[in-house]
Structure 1
Amino acid sequence: MTRTWFITGANRGLGRAFTTAALAQGDRVVATARDPKTMEDLRDERLTVLPLDVRDRGAVIDTVNAAFDKVGTIDVIINNAGYGLVGALEELTEAEIRDQMDTNFYGALWVSQAAVPHLRAQGSGHIVQISTVGAVGSLPLFGLYNASKWALEGFSASLADELRPFGIHVTLAQMGGFDTDWAKSSMKFGTELPAYTEQRQALFGMPDYWGPLVQAESAHTPDESAPSTHEPAEAPESTEPGPEVAAAAILDLVAMPNPPVRKVIGPGAHQMVTMALDARRQDYLTDPEFTWPA
């Protein structure tokens, strides 16, 4: 079966892997990126590249409408655009927090909202939200990234119920770690405070965030916002599988006649979800009136 895909954030990482995998199996793809020039190396008559910043609701609506006008039926919507924001809550500015939510949460929401009328009219379709195992649990210094994905999970689970009567599937792809730019050039960082040095060391094996630090206005005292005495470190070397592994799993997912609402993808990801759910179970067990389902 030949499918047509609409993929956001398609110029690198998982998004590019999804795009190339779909093309390789003979499907058509409408791929979006903030800068379409970053996809000029992918030349295929079945590929359409459109510019899109998912934070702009008006642009999202226009682009989704244009995509359906051009290709007719779209079978798979992949909301992939997003990035990681690292920092303790007090290390992050309002602008950084809003941009994280605008990209990871609202971006997927706007694309879904724009696509639903078309999918409902055609009586079919599959929306795949690229989520994370971090949307099941939590991790210090990733609070706002976790929040953006928890929000994505909340609205998407409801959306799955809303759209099921119309023959439309919604799946949250809870991804584990893959060797992409996500933890490198795609990641943004708060302004380091010395109070969190030990947490950075415990979590990352280094006292500082790697890469260039985000320079933003801060309400911290001069002592707290002073530059670090450490040299900026390189991102930790990845031992994770390549994005093509994730792409193969997504191909299998969209081929399922009755796909699940949640699908865990990636080596080690299932164990991480199990640990997160067990931690939540332990919290609830402190309440004598609560009985965890068998």
Structure 2
Amino acid sequence: MDAPEVWLVTGGGRGLGRAIVVAALERGHTVVATARAEHSLPAHERLTVRALDVRDRGATREAVRNVAEQFGRLDVLVNNAGYGLVGAVEEVSEEDARAILDTDLLGALWASQAAVEVMRPQGSGEIVQISTTGAVGAMPTLGLYNAAKWGLEGFSAAMAAEVARFGIRVTIVEPGSLDTDWAGSSMRFASPVPAYDEVRSELFGTAEVPWPAPDATAGTEAALDEPADSGGDAEADAASVTSPATAAAAILAHLADPSDTRLRLLVGDDAPGQVAAALEARLTDYRRDPRFPL
């Protein structure tokens, strides 16, 4: 069993966040999980659940400091709070854009800043940023979600180099398709413009937003859990979906191995292929410049 640690998991009430909380408890750690709404986390003597809106910088910093004050330290911060937004770039309102950036990007920034303040004097700590393979490429109608995650990865890569000397390791987790409710109640939608109906139909099997009931729209959830086009058939895509418990186990195994110095951790059988396709598309563009060395 790992040495007991103190964990803070934002967005810990469901999906991958919940799976990480449960896995950490099973390994003997003390966990503080935050959630904005109702949750299904089990009662546990080493689990504390607190309400938190990560968009509130002051409240987020206070939540991090409270964990350190209550337990004497903070060993692991997992920034999982976030949601998806479906909307072509033209469709996204100012309110839509600010809301997802405030949550998916700035919420993680506020928590990371506060965690570094605690971990730096400790001389140790882990900051885990839950990203997506969609932070390597981009998918039509998910542009603002992609933008938030690209921003998350940008500041996290810089931060990793800044804080390594203090004994703090930063990990960017890039999951592929996960069997969560991300495409359901965790999804928000911009007001549709009819000109993009064909795009939505091609991607998701329907132009209607919010989604019809899952049984009325075959493939909608699978498509939304797929940040990049895998090019495979539906049966193969369904087989590649990773359970939250399996993803959580991969993340905890990485954290338990101090010799694993990867900044980016791919999670899920389909993740490597998605990233390779996105990087190859970018390299194809760069190679059109005769000065490019590869």
Q: TM-score, normalised by structure 2?
A: 0.89
Q: How far has the Cα of 1:72 moved from its partner?
A: 1.4
Q: Which SS does the other structure have where 2:220 is aligned? A: coil
Q: Which SS does the other structure have where 1:90 is aligned? A: coil
Tell me what 2:49 maps to: 49
Q: 1:234 to 1:186 in 2, by over 3 A?
A: farther
Q: How far has the Cα of 1:4 moved from its partner?
A: 1.7
Q: Percent identity?
A: 51
Residue 5 (str. 1) matches residue 7 (str. 2): yes
Task: Map 1:239-250 to 2 at 5 A.
Answer: 239=238, 240-250=241-251
Tell me what 1:278 maps to: 280
Tell me what 1:130 maps to: 130
Conserved 8 A contact 2:205-2:218:
no
Write the distance in 1 (CA, Å) between the matches of 2:288 and 2:79.
Answer: 37
Write the distance in 2 (CA, Å) between the matches of 1:207 and 1:260.
Answer: 40
Tell me what 1:173 maps to: 173
Q: How far has the Cα of 1:3 moved from its partner?
A: 1.9
Q: How far has the Cα of 1:2 moved from its partner?
A: 1.8
Tell me what 1:268 maps to: 270
Write the distance in 1 (CA, Å) between the matches of 2:245 and 2:71.
Answer: 26
Conserved 8 A contact 1:210-1:233:
no
Letter aligned with residue 182 of structure 1: W
* Structure whose CA Rg is larger: 1
CA RMSD of aligned residues (A): 1.5
Write the distance in 2 (CA, Å) between the matches of 1:50 and 1:207.
Answer: 38
Query: Which aligned segments of 4 or more residues in structure 1 are displaced greater than 4 angstroms?
Result: 232-235
Q: Which SS does the other structure have where 1:173 is aligned? A: strand
Q: Which SS does the other structure have where 1:181 is aligned? A: coil
Residue 236 (str. 1) matches residue 217 (str. 2): no
Q: Which SS does the other structure have where 1:180 is aligned? A: coil
Write the distance in 2 (CA, Å) between the matches of 1:198 and 1:34.
Answer: 35
Cα-to-partner distance string for 1:267-289 (whole Å, 9 max, x where unaligned) = 20100000000000000011111
Tell me what 1:222 maps to: none
Task: Map 1:58-97 to 2 at 5 A.
Answer: 58-97=58-97
Tell me what 1:217 maps to: none
Where does the alignment leave 5 or more consecutive residues of structure 1 unmatched? 213-231
Cα-to-partner distance string for 1:176-229 (whole Å, 9 max, x where unaligned) = 1111111111000111111111111111122223438xxxxxxxxxxxxxxxxx
Cα-to-partner distance string for 1:18-56 (whole Å, 9 max, x where unaligned) = 001111121110111113x525x5211111112110000
Tell me what 1:23 maps to: 25
Letter aligned with residue 179 of structure 2: D
Write the distance in 2 (CA, Å) between the matches of 1:207 and 1:68.
Answer: 47
Count of residues paired in the alignment: 271
Q: TM-score, normalised by structure 1?
A: 0.89
Tell me what 2:233 maps to: none
Conserved 8 A contact 1:183-1:235:
no
Where does the alignment leave 5 or more consecutive residues of structure 2 unmatched? 223-237
Write the distance in 1 (CA, Å) between the matches of 2:88 and 2:43.
Answer: 42
